[in-house]
Amino acid sequence: MHWKRNLEIEKGRCPLLYVIIDGRKGILEKLRGIMKAGVEIVQLRDKDLSTRELLELSRKAKKVIKDRALFFINDCIDLALAVGAQGVHLGQDDLPVEVARRIAGKKMLIGFSTHTAEQVKKSVSKPVDYISFGPVFKTKTKLDAVSPRGINRLRKAVSYSRHPVVAVGGIKKGNAGEVIKSGASGVAVCSGILDARDTYRATIELRSELHL
């Protein structure tokens, strides 16, 4: 209930569909298709853009998203605060979540990346709203990603965590349902939607697979 209440998601709308966007050409048009299809969270993540470029893109993305989904910024809590994003997603090597929570206060949502059982166990005491776990499958989005964790490790991560778990990494139409059966609260998708010519149709098809 804590997860649903804080993310303003009505009962019955879980599992979550969480889309990670980047700065590729035409991303705003792709985002319009995604929003038309309906998602709960959009995260902006692009390691290659400068801070100024991220600021400009995040402002434009937020105008497309409006109040139809929660908007998260990857890594940069200062940027998230500057554009009025509802959340920030932090990795293992980013600003410690305890520090981020002190800066952001209670209202901002904080997500936290985990890749191993030990990291999941350590996250139990951290002031975050959810954790991501992965990559579940092989992914081309993050070239420096660890090896695929697989469904069994995801299932264990869900059992170890007191926070909702969002599965990430190589998730697309055809394997998303299997991920949800593992107990994950949602799936985070990037190339599985962004690489599609029609992001509206790709989002609709993936969402239908989540509601088993």
What's the confidence (pLDDT) of residue 145? 66
Point out which residues pair with 110 in neighbouring strands.
88
Distance CA 174, CA 159 (A): 24
Q: Residues near 103 by Cβ (< 8 Å), separated by ≥ 6?
A: 77, 81
> CB atoms < 10 A from the CB of 160, how many?
19
Residue 122 buriedness (CB in 10 A; 0-12 / 13-18 / 19+): middle
What's the confidence (pLDDT) of residue 4? 45
User: Three-state secondary structure along the chain?
Assistant: CHHHHHCCCCCCCCCEEEEEECCCCCHHHHHHHHHHHCCCEEEECCCCCCHHHHHHHHHHHHHHHCCCCEEEEECCHHHHHHHCCCEEEECCCCCCHHHHHHHHCCCCEEEEEECCHHHHHHHCCCCCCEEEECCCCCCCCCCCCCCCCHHHHHHHHHHHCCCCEEEECCCCCCCHHHHHHCCCCEEEECHHHHCCCCHHHHHHHHHHHHCC
| Domains of the chain by residue range | 2-210
Q: Which CATH architecture best describes the domain 2-210?
A: Alpha-Beta Barrel (3.20)
What's the confidence (pLDDT) of residue 144? 61
Return averaged pLDDT per consecutive 10 residues of the chain, 212 residues in all: 43 72 97 96 96 97 96 96 96 96 93 97 96 93 78 97 95 94 95 96 94 66
What's the confidence (pLDDT) of residue 142? 66
What's the confidence (pLDDT) of residue 15? 73
Distance CA 209, CA 189 (A): 13
Instruction: Dig out the tokens for 173 from the structure.
Output: 């139409």
